Structure 1
C-alpha cells in the first residue's frame, strides 16, 4: 500500500508547493523593479548560505549546530526521499540500497536536530515568536521519523516478514498520516505559509539580496541607497508595501521571527513603540493584505496586537484611521543597525525604515517634534542648529588654523563637522588639533566653506536636502588637493566615505579616503610620530559608536590607541559589534519619541557595571548623549582628549607618515 501511496503523496506535495511558490512570487512581484543578476545570484547562493548566513547563526553555537543538523538533514532527506520513494530508486540491493542508507542517515540527523528545537521551544526566550512556531518541533519530528520508518524496509534492514507487516492497513495508515503531516508542514508549508515559509523565501532572499556587496569575508554595505530626484513621476519614498522593491518584499518574507533584532534594539529596550521583528511582520501582512491579529510575538511597547491592518496598495502610515504602522514607530529608530547586524536572514530593517521616513518627510512633510525646525535650519544655514555659517571657526580664533583656500594642497583635510558649533565638542577638536600638530601633520580645514555633511537630513528622510548638501560639499572638495580626510565625527566619516560617491560627477572619481581620528591617531603612533606618558588614571571602558563600528567595521583602532596610552580597557558586556547605541543616531534626539526609559541611561548603566571611572568615546553625538545622563558615575572623554593630555615629545627620527593614497579614486 505504501509503495503505491508514497509517490502520489510526494508528487502531490511537490505540486502544491509549486503552486504556492508561484503564489508567493506573485506577492513579491507587486513591488517595484530591482536590477538583480538572477543567475549570478543563484550561483552564489550555496556560499552565501553556508558561509555568510552561518557566520551570523554561528554566534550561538548550540543553535548553529541545531540548524545544521535540522536544515541540512531536511534538505538531504527531501531530495533522497524523492529519489528513493518518489522515483523508486531505493532497491535494497545495488546503488539503490546506498540511497536508502543515506536517506536513513539524513532523516536520523534531522530527528536529532529536531530534539534540540523541541528543547528550546519547551520554555522559549521572550524574543521568540510562539503561535504556529510552537508546533514546529513536532512537525520536524513527524517528517524525519516518518521518512525514517518508511525507509527501513527499502534499505533492507527489516526482515521480509516484518516488511510485509508494515504493509498492513492499520500500520500503513498510521505511517501515511505521519508522512502527510510532515510533507504538509515541511514541503507545502514552505510556500503556502507557516513556520517553514522562511526556508523558501530565505534562500531566494540570499540569492537576490539588494545588497549583494554584503556577502564575502569582511565585506560591508551600509550606505543608504540614493533616490532619483530627477524622476518627477516617481513617488519619493515608500507609501505602500508595493512601493518597496520586489526583493525587499522577498526579504521581509524571509523573516524567521527569531527575535534577535528585538533583543538588541535600543528603542525596544527603552520601551519606545518599535520592535523591528514586529515591523517586518507588519510589512508581510501588508504585502498579502490583512491584519496583525495572528502575530504571536512581542508587540510594539504600549501597542497591543490586533490594532493594525493594511493591503499591498494601501498606506503603511495612515493620516487617519487604521494602518499597518504608526508614524512614531518609524521615528523611534536610531538607525544603529544592531538589528541588521544580528539578523541571520540578513534583512535590511534600516533601509526599510528610512524609505518609509522619506515618504513622510518629502511627500507629507510630517516629521515630528523639532525635526521640521532642524531641516529648515539645514536649508537656510547649512547647519542643523541654525547658527550663523560665518561663525563656524570662532572656536579656533586663537589656533591660527590653516585654510584650504589659502594652501590649495595639503596631506590632510580636517573635517570639523557641526560639532564646531558645540562648546563641548570644541574641546575635542582643540585636542585633535594639538595631536596633529604634535605629529607635524600637514593639514588644513575648509573653514566657512564646510557645510553639514547631510547625515541627519538623510536619516530624517529629507533626501533632497541631503543631496543638495552633498553636491555642494563635493564641489568644494573638488577645488583642492589632499591625501585624506580626517574627522572625529563617525557620522560624517560614514557619509563622506560611503554615501557621497553616488553624487560625484561622472568620470571624476567619487570615493574619498576618509579616516576616523582614532584610526589616524593609531597610524601616527605606529609610525613613531607620537609618544605618550603612561596612563595613571582609573579604570577605563570604551563605547563603540554605531557609525564607526557596525557601519564601518572599525573596532580595533580606538582600542589600539587606548592600549598605546597604557590603558587596559574594561569591556562592557555589550561592546564591539554588539555595542548598545547611545541613542543619538538617526535623528532620534530630534524626533524625541517618548519611552519608558532613556537609551543613554541604559548605556551608562552598562558603563557602571564595569566599575570604570571613565568611558572613552569617539563620537560627538555619543559624548553629548552620555554626558547628558543625570548622576552618571563615570566621566566621558573623547579619545583625542586622552591622547592630547598624554603627549610627550616623540623620538627624533620619525618613520614614514601614514598612508598617502590619493583621496580620489576612480570609480
Structure 2
C-alpha cells in the first residue's frame, strides 16, 4: 500500500511546490529590475550558504548545531526519499542512508522542539510553534516506512492500519516542508533564502575561495537623479528592486535583529523584524493581522495593511508602516550584522526615507532645518562657513591651497563647529606635529561630507556636497585622508566612489596605531595607568560594523598602558550611542534614551573613563546626566601621553614616509 501512496504524495507535492515557486517568483518580479549574475549566483550559492551564512548562524552554537542536523538531515532525506519511495529504487544501501538522514533530522527536530517549549521573546510564535511537530512527523514517518527497504523489517509489516498512519504522517510532513517552501509557512525561508544568497543585491559581501573573510559592503547605493523614470526612493513595495523583495521574503523571523536594535530596546516604534515582515505583507497584499512576533513598541498588531502598488507610508488611513518607524532608525547596522539571512534592513529604510524627503518633503522635527542649513552654509548647524578654522587660530595649520600637496590630508569634519569636539581636533593636530607628519587641511574649502543629508534621505543635497568636495580634492595631491569622524571617514572611503571620488582613507585611531608601530610617535605611560585606573572603549558603529575596525583603537589604548575593561556589548555587537542616521535630528520619542542605555553598559564595567573615537558618540554620551564616567577621545588620551622622542631612537633607514607605511 505504501509503495502506491508514497510516490503519489511525493510527486504531487513536488508538482505543487514547482507551481508555488513560479507563483513566488512572480511576486518578487513585481519589483524594479536589478542586474544579477543568474548562473554564477546559483553556482556560488552553496558556498555562501555553508560558509558566509553559517558564519553568522554559528554565533548561537545551540541553534547552529540544531540547524546543521535538522536542515542537513532534511535535504538529504528529501532527496533519498524521492529516489527510494518516489522512483522505487529499493536498494539496501539507499535505505540505510535514508534511515541515517531521517535519524539525524529527527534528532535535530527534538532540539527545535526543546527550544520552542519556552521560546525567547524575540522568536515569532503562531505557525512557527507547529514546525517541530512537522519536522518530527516527516522524519519519523519516512524512517519507519524505510525499515523494510533497509531489510530490517519485512515488506507489508503492520498491515494497512500502519500504512495509513504513515501516509498521514508523510502527508503532514511533506505538506509543511515541501509546499511550505514556496506557498508560505515557517519553512518559506529555505527556498527564498537560498535564492537570496544567490542573487543578493550586495554580492561583494560574500567571501571567495581566495578570500576567507567576506568583504564589507556598507555604503548606500546611489540614486540616479538624472533619469526621469527612476523613482526618487521607494513609495510602494513594487518600487524596491526585485531582489530586495526576495531578500525580505527570506526572513526567518528569528528576531536576532530585534534583540540588537537600539531603537526597539529604547521603546521607539521600530522593530526591524516587524518592518521586514510588513514588507512581505506588502509584497502579496493584506494586513499584519497574522504576524505573531513582537510588535512595534506602542503599536498593536493588526493596524497596518497594504499591497504591492499601494503607498507604504500613507498620509491618512491604514498603511504598511508609519513614518515615525522609519525615522527611529539610527542606521547602526546592528540588525544587518546579526541577520543570518543577510538581509539589508538599513538599505530598505533609507530607500523609504528618500521618498518621504525628496518627494513629499516630510522630514520630521528639525530635519528640514538641518537640510536647509546644509544647502545654505555647507554644515548642518547653519554656522557661518568662514568660522570653520576658528578652533585652530593659534595652531598655524598648513593649508592645502598653499602647499598644493602633502602626504596626509586631515579631514576636519563638522566637529570644527562644536566646542567639545574642537578639543579632539586640537589633540590630533598635536599628535600629527609630534610625529612630524607632512599634513595639511582644506580649511574653508572643506564642506560637510553629506552623511546626515544622505541618511535623512536627501540624496540630492548629498550628491551636491559630495561632488563639490570631490572637485576640491581633485585640485591637490595627497596619499591618505585621515579623519577623527567615522561618519566622514566612511563617506569618503565607501560612498564617494559612485560619484568618482576614490581615496585611501584612514580613521585617526588606525593612523595613530600606524605611527606607533613605525616608531614615529613616542608615548609615556598615561597618568591614568599610573593611578591604576581602568578604561572601557565604545566602538563607533561607523568604524566597527560599517568598516570592520576594532583592533587599532584597542592597540592604541594598550600602548598607553591603561587597563581596558570590555563591555558585554562590544566589538561587532556594540550598542549604538543613538547619534547616527540623523536620529538626534528626527528625535522620535521612546521609553528611554539610547545613550542612557549605553551609559548603563559602561557603568557595568566599573571603568572610570570611556574612550571614544567619534564626535557623535562623544556628544551623545556626554549628554547623559552625571554621575557618569568621563568621556575622552583616543586622540586626547594619546596627546596627553606624548613624550619627546629620543635623538637616536630609530635608525634613519627605518623611518619611512607615513603614507608608504599605510600602503
Measured after TM superposition, the shift of residue 658 of structure 1 is 6.0
Q: Which residue of 1 aligns with 2:140?
A: 145
2:193 is the alignment partner of 1:198: no
Distance 1:27 1:567 in 2: 56
Cα pair 1:527 1:658 within 8 Å, conserved: no
Q: Which residue of 1 aligns with 2:283?
A: 287
Q: Which residue of 2 aligns with 1:65?
A: 65
Instruction: Please give the secondary structure, in 2, of the residue aligned with 1:623.
Output: helix
Cα pair 1:574 1:606 within 8 Å, conserved: yes
2:180 is the alignment partner of 1:185: no
Measured after TM superposition, the shift of residue 139 of structure 1 is 0.5
Q: Which residue of 2 aligns with 1:227?
A: 223
Cα pair 1:529 1:651 within 8 Å, conserved: no
The structure 2 residue matched to 1:641, chosen from 626, 636, 641, is: 636
Q: Which residue of 2 aligns with 1:582?
A: 577
Q: 1:325 to 1:658 in 2, by over 3 A?
A: farther
Instruction: Please give the secondary structure, in 2, of the residue aligned with 1:660.
Output: helix
Cα deviation per residue 1:373-396 (whole Å; 9 max; x = unaligned)? 000000011100111111100111
TM-score normalized with structure 1 length: 0.96
Distance 1:632 1:76 in 2: 59
Q: Which residue of 2 aligns with 1:22?
A: 22
2:31 is the alignment partner of 1:31: yes
Q: Which residue of 2 aligns with 1:304?
A: 300
- Equivalent positions of 1:193-592 (< 5 A) are 193-216=184-207, 217-504=213-500, 510-537=501-528, 538-592=533-587
Measured after TM superposition, the shift of residue 532 of structure 1 is 1.3
Cα pair 1:74 1:107 within 8 Å, conserved: yes
Q: Which residue of 1 aligns with 2:210?
A: none
Q: Which residue of 2 aligns with 1:507?
A: none
Measured after TM superposition, the shift of residue 568 of structure 1 is 2.0
Measured after TM superposition, the shift of residue 88 of structure 1 is 1.1
Aligned length: 650
Runs of 4+ in structure 1 off by over 4 angstroms are none
Q: Which residue of 2 aligns with 1:164?
A: 156
Distance 2:272 2:11 in 1: 38
> What's the Cα RMSD here?
1.1
Distance 1:610 1:443 in 2: 38
2:92 is the alignment partner of 1:101: no
Measured after TM superposition, the shift of residue 126 of structure 1 is 0.3
Measured after TM superposition, the shift of residue 164 of structure 1 is 2.3
Measured after TM superposition, the shift of residue 324 of structure 1 is 0.2
Distance 1:373 1:39 in 2: 48
Q: 1:213 to 1:109 in 2, by over 3 A?
A: same
Structure 1 segments unaligned to the other structure (5+ residues): 91-95, 505-509
Q: Which residue of 1 aligns with 2:590?
A: 595
Distance 2:123 2:342 in 1: 17
Distance 1:567 1:518 in 2: 16
Cα deviation per residue 1:475-527 (whole Å; 9 max; x = unaligned)? 000000001000000000000000000001xxxxx321100000000000000
Cα pair 2:17 2:182 within 8 Å, conserved: yes
Measured after TM superposition, the shift of residue 232 of structure 1 is 1.3
Cα pair 2:437 2:658 within 8 Å, conserved: no
Q: Which residue of 2 aligns with 1:117?
A: 112
Measured after TM superposition, the shift of residue 651 of structure 1 is 3.5
Instruction: Please give the secondary structure, in 2, of the residue aligned with 1:387.
Output: coil
Q: Which residue of 2 aligns with 1:93?
A: none
Cα deviation per residue 1:260-303 (whole Å; 9 max; x = unaligned)? 00000000000000000000000000010000001000000000
Structure 2 segments unaligned to the other structure (5+ residues): 208-212
Q: 1:544 to 1:152 in 2, by over 3 A?
A: same
Cα pair 1:523 1:658 within 8 Å, conserved: no
Measured after TM superposition, the shift of residue 659 of structure 1 is 5.1
Measured after TM superposition, the shift of residue 536 of structure 1 is 3.4
Cα pair 1:273 1:300 within 8 Å, conserved: yes
Instruction: Please give the secondary structure, in 2, of the residue aligned with 1:540.
Output: strand
